[in-house]
Amino acid sequence: MGVKPQKNVVKQLVCNALPQGRVVSLNGSIGIVGGEQGSAQQVVNYNNGQVSNFLTGGVQVGWNGGASASISAGFIYDTEGRFTNSAFSGRFSNISGSTAEGPVGSVSWSGGVKVVQGGVGVSLIPGATGNYSYTWTSKPMPAGNISTNLANPSGAFDLLIYLLRKLGGC
């Protein structure tokens, strides 16, 4: 019986380390010290293999260079470990920033769902940016599943993480 709790600890460590999903976003915003922003996103769910598209819009405060655009990718973590694509819908709080040279990063959260992304971007007025935004994300628009997503450049990576979660009993 002493082995079983140790297996549960290892399983929990593995499951917590592996993300529940991946997101790729195309983002745009306009405004000087406040304004609007929007994005188109694709989410691959590592729990159930679903792939969905989302649209997001919202308001922001902070410096974004007058107008900016970026492309980013990242991972989705659910503190409860039960992420579904529907959980990606709704209101999110977001903090994002960039350097003058183009790297961008953001952290978003809604309930137990946390999204961490990195990418590249440009702004109308060159320089570092930083803002807080409050956004609303659409309901999921089905875009297939993990096996139909294999043609994408990250398809093999997605399948690997999906299989590791399944083999780990996550």
**What is the domain partition of the chain in residue ranges?**
20-167
Q: Helix (H, G, I), strand (E, B), or coil: what is residue 93?
A: strand
Evaluated on CA atoms 161, 163, 166, 169, the torsion sign reads negative
Confidence band of 8 (pLDDT split at 50, 70, 90): confident
Which amino acid, one-letter code, is at 105? G
Task: State the pLDDT at residue 64.
Answer: 83
Q: What length does the chain have? A: 170
CB hemisphere CA count around 3 (13 angstroms): 0
Give the residue, 114 or 32, on which the prediction is more confident. 114
Task: State the pLDDT at residue 148.
Answer: 83
Q: Helix (H, G, I), strand (E, B), or coil: what is residue 127?
A: coil
DSSP 111: T
pLDDT at residue 135 is higher than 90: yes
Dist CA 95 CA 106 (whole Å):
6
Give the residue, 150 or 165, on which the prediction is more confident. 165
Q: What is the pLDDT of residues 50-108, one digit of tens each?
A: 999 999 999 999 988 888 899 999 999 998 778 999 999 999 999 999 987 789 999 99
Give the residue, 118 or 82, on which the prediction is more confident. 118
Task: State the pLDDT at residue 16.
Answer: 84
Percent of the chain at pLDDT > 90 equals: 64
CB hemisphere CA count around 79 (13 angstroms): 6
Cβ within 8 Å of residue 17, ≥6 positions away: none
Q: Measured between alpha carbons, how far is residue 24 from residues 61, 89, 110, 117 in Å?
A: 23, 15, 18, 8
